[in-house]
Structure 1
Amino acid sequence: MTHRVELDVRDNSLNLIRLVLALLVLVAHGYYLSGQGAGPSIQGENLGGWAVFGFFTISGYLITASRFANPLGRFLVLRVARIYPGFVVCLVLTAGVFAPVGWWVEGRDRSRFLTTDTTPVAYVLDNLGLRITAYDVAGTPASVPYPGAWNGSLWTLFFEFCCYLLVGLLVCLPVVRRHRWLLGVAFVASVVVWANAGTWHLTDHADLALFARLAPPFLGGAVVQVAVRRIPLRTSTALPAAALAVLVVALVGGWGAQAASPLIAYSLLWLATVLPSPRLVRRHDISYGAYVYAFPVQQLLAYAGAPRLGLVLYDALAMVGTGLLAVLSWRWVERPVLLCVRHRLGPRQSAPGDSVVPEVTGGRPASVGEGPRHEGDRVRS
């Protein structure tokens, strides 16, 4: 008997799934930040890389739904309101709280903190455009197993927003609005581009290579958003889709995950319909806060010597600290800004993607398969 399920906009487990993915990134980064290397990997991708891949597929589904429901201006305002205020507050707290603690622990001259490169002000200003170019603050963190970076996760937000712009502009085309299946053509093109990235020398340009690598999972989620009208979420479809995704990833080296991203997106969305989730988690999305604060919390714990307690306890302590900051970010920054912006924009057509937005893009290594990224130090798994 076929079990058909629907993705209810307000009653699903996407918040829980994204939170689990964010914590999986925390665990993956725990190996790097405690000096234990890349940790477990699958097909050359560490756990954080796979978590980010999942983030992008879910994001592609939800953001595409939001774009079709909103004109471009409103769509962009909502997207900026969702990720930017929390991002800026994280930058300020890193420069104004985390870095001074690191400076103090290292026993440096307090009078020089505000004048040593990269200054706290420079750290914030250099990164305000979402593209992360500064990773240290006044040379901190230094006395830790992974020096030189306070937050190796934020860089993904730039590429996530590039994907927002890509879908936003594609849907501006009348032909795409009339024939949504053309997003599938864009997806196929993105996979072809990534499969030939080396041949076409895209890998010579770091930003182009990263965008080429991350656009397919996002567009894969967009494909599912279009296709789910004709192929509703069903258990009898989701399980074979998941099995086929595993097969493609196992057999196709280099770009198998990108090619299988619609299957991965479909499987995760189906899981969101059948996986039970606490009501509190359904109503409050702290996954974004968990994504942006995990790395600096882990670095602060590294200063305190937490990695010597063992990886499990180190990760557990990081989850507690990260969870607290994520809740505060949601309650005091993200949610108030979203409510204010939506109130000012006025009523609009209801659509999934505005009530549960996945910008996490979650924490992760430098690119899918790399360690935490900062200037001059890209650790490959």
Structure 2
Amino acid sequence: MGGFDYLRLIAAILVIAHHARVLNGEPPIMIGTSLDLGALGVGVFFVISGYLVSGSLERTPRLWSFIAKRALRIFPGLLAALLVTAFVIGPASTALARSDYLASPEVYGYVLKNLTLYAVTYDLPGVFLAAPVAGVVNGSLWTLRLEFTAYLALAALGAARQVKPRVLTVLALAAAASAIAIHALGLDARGDLYRIAYLAAINGFLFLSGAALRTSAWRAPSWLAVAALIPLITPLWFLGLPLIALRLGALNAPRAPVDLSYGLYIYSFPLQQMLAERSQLNLATSLALTLPFALASWLLVEKPALRLKARLPPAPAKPVLNPVAALGD
């Protein structure tokens, strides 16, 4: 299933391409009326995550082992990125004296709060104040909260023995209906709370759809995946994305030697802000600056952390959660 490796990489690059414009104060590139490249990239991540993580749950003998696997995937890389941002990028970019910056409790709070996932903070003292999007250090972190919440929700369904195609499909449709209602009523434009609910509903639908398609072992025919392109140009763009993403991910391809997608995602925003302050931000400079960080993250942090999965209890002879054909972890 190497196709998912490349699809995740493409999704990360779409997010970087989106930020390369908006962090310069330029309008985003739109696909149709409601979909920008950043939302597309994030949406693809959630579909793939729901698909692969539900497979991991099927093969995991204990729920605590499942949560441990997910934590090993998110937290080591995130901690490293937060430390680099707070103690390397921050001191190099702050308008304060370095001693004043390092003495500020907000610097240490930035690491600790964002490491919880649920107390996200976007600013560091005096950092990126001259950027077109001033004061925002890493605007990508909000999605990790949704991602980990989706893991916990899936684990809860697993504990109740409800990781079943019908249950997941009903929940996905409920999330889609919520997103459509919020948008139709115009609530997503009335404040942060409604916008968060709208984004949670959309990405919840994408995650649950990926999980439902995995547990059902149903594969969309090519004609249906092509037809699913049509909603992309409408406000209902998210409805067809699971079929498209999973069809592309299922393409036969060799496994990528490195997985740079997560590193690209968590490092790109603050590095792009550095470029924006210097009027040097574009897609090419973004990738040139971020790729070395992503490679170091994979080789020095993420890959060693993922090796710890081998120390978790092995899967039993018969998986405990409604097994289907095992694919990627």
TM-score scaled by length of structure 1: 0.76
8 Å Cα contact 1:132-1:154 kept in structure 2: no
Q: CA offset at residue 285 of structure 1?
A: 1.2
**Aligned to 2:159, what secondary structure does the other structure show?**
coil
How far does the alpha carbon of each residue in 1:238-285 deviate from its partner, in whole angstroms, 9 at most, with x for none? 2x222322234446x3xx23433xxx32332332343645x5xx2321
Q: CA offset at residue 60 of structure 1?
A: 0.8
Q: CA offset at residue 53 of structure 1?
A: 0.9
Pick from 70, 73, 78: which aligns with 2:64? Answer: 73
In the aligned structure 1, how far is the partner of 2:250 from the partner of 2:197? 35
How big is the alpha-carbon RMSD for the aligned residues of Structure 1 and Structure 2?
A: 2.4
**Letter of the 1:216 counterpart:** F
Q: CA offset at residue 95 of structure 1?
A: 0.5
Q: CA offset at residue 320 of structure 1?
A: 1.7
Pick from 247, 253, 264: which aligns with 2:230? Answer: 247
Q: CA offset at residue 109 of structure 1?
A: 2.5
Pick from 321, 324, 337: which aligns with 2:289? Answer: 321
**Aligned to 2:85, what secondary structure does the other structure show?**
helix
**Letter of the 1:87 counterpart:** L
TM-score scaled by length of structure 2: 0.87
In the aligned structure 2, how far is the partner of 1:17 from the partner of 1:183? 23
1:151 corresponds in structure 2 to 138
**Letter of the 1:225 counterpart:** R
**Aligned to 1:153, what secondary structure does the other structure show?**
coil
In the aligned structure 1, how far is the partner of 2:186 from the partner of 2:12? 33
2:249 corresponds in structure 1 to 272
**Aligned to 1:197, what secondary structure does the other structure show?**
helix
Q: Could you say if the C-alpha distance between residues 92 and 41 of structure 1 is closer, same or farther in structure 2, counting changes exceeding 3 Å?
A: same
In the aligned structure 2, how far is the partner of 1:72 from the partner of 1:346? 11
Map residues 107-186 of structure 1 onto 2, 5 A cutoff.
108-116=96-104, 119-174=106-161, 176-177=162-163, 179-186=164-171
**Letter of the 1:352 counterpart:** L
Pick from 248, 257, 262: which aligns with 2:237? Answer: 257
Pick from 221, 224, 229: which aligns with 2:210? Answer: 221
In the aligned structure 2, how far is the partner of 1:195 from the partner of 1:217? 14
Q: Does 1:345 align with 2:312?
A: yes
Q: Could you say if the C-alpha distance between residues 273 and 218 of structure 1 is closer, same or farther in structure 2, counting changes exceeding 3 Å?
A: closer
**Letter of the 2:147 counterpart:** E
Q: Could you say if the C-alpha distance between residues 181 and 283 of structure 1 is closer, same or farther in structure 2, counting changes exceeding 3 Å?
A: farther
In the aligned structure 1, how far is the partner of 2:216 from the partner of 2:264? 31
Q: Could you say if the C-alpha distance between residues 317 and 201 of structure 1 is closer, same or farther in structure 2, counting changes exceeding 3 Å?
A: closer
Q: Could you say if the C-alpha distance between residues 250 and 303 of structure 1 is closer, same or farther in structure 2, counting changes exceeding 3 Å?
A: closer
Q: Does 1:296 align with 2:239?
A: no
8 Å Cα contact 1:290-1:322 kept in structure 2: yes
Q: Does 1:82 align with 2:67?
A: no
Map residues 27-66 of structure 1 onto 2, 5 A cutoff.
27-66=17-56
In the aligned structure 2, how far is the partner of 1:35 from the partner of 1:169? 42
Q: Could you say if the C-alpha distance between residues 301 and 221 of structure 1 is closer, same or farther in structure 2, counting changes exceeding 3 Å?
A: same
In the aligned structure 2, how far is the partner of 1:138 from the partner of 1:249? 40
8 Å Cα contact 2:34-2:233 kept in structure 1: no
In the aligned structure 2, how far is the partner of 1:273 from the partner of 1:245? 16
8 Å Cα contact 1:114-1:138 kept in structure 2: no
Task: Calculate percent identity across the aligned residue pairs.
Answer: 31
Q: CA offset at residue 132 of structure 1?
A: 5.0
**Letter of the 2:228 counterpart:** A
In the aligned structure 1, how far is the partner of 2:205 from the partner of 2:250? 24
Q: Could you say if the C-alpha distance between residues 160 and 330 of structure 1 is closer, same or farther in structure 2, counting changes exceeding 3 Å?
A: same
8 Å Cα contact 2:229-2:244 kept in structure 1: no
Pick from 145, 168, 172: which aligns with 1:187? Answer: 172
8 Å Cα contact 2:73-2:306 kept in structure 1: yes
**Letter of the 1:97 counterpart:** V
Q: Could you say if the C-alpha distance between residues 243 and 180 of structure 1 is closer, same or farther in structure 2, counting changes exceeding 3 Å?
A: closer
Q: Could you say if the C-alpha distance between residues 200 and 250 of structure 1 is closer, same or farther in structure 2, counting changes exceeding 3 Å?
A: closer
Q: Could you say if the C-alpha distance between residues 324 and 210 of structure 1 is closer, same or farther in structure 2, counting changes exceeding 3 Å?
A: same
In the aligned structure 2, how far is the partner of 1:265 from the partner of 1:208? 20
In the aligned structure 1, how far is the partner of 2:252 from the partner of 2:20? 27
- Listed as ranges, the gaps of 5+ residues in structure 2 are 320-325
How far does the alpha carbon of each residue in 1:20-62 deviate from its partner, in whole angstroms, 9 at most, with x for none? 1101110100111122133334322211111111111111111
Q: CA offset at residue 191 of structure 1?
A: 1.5
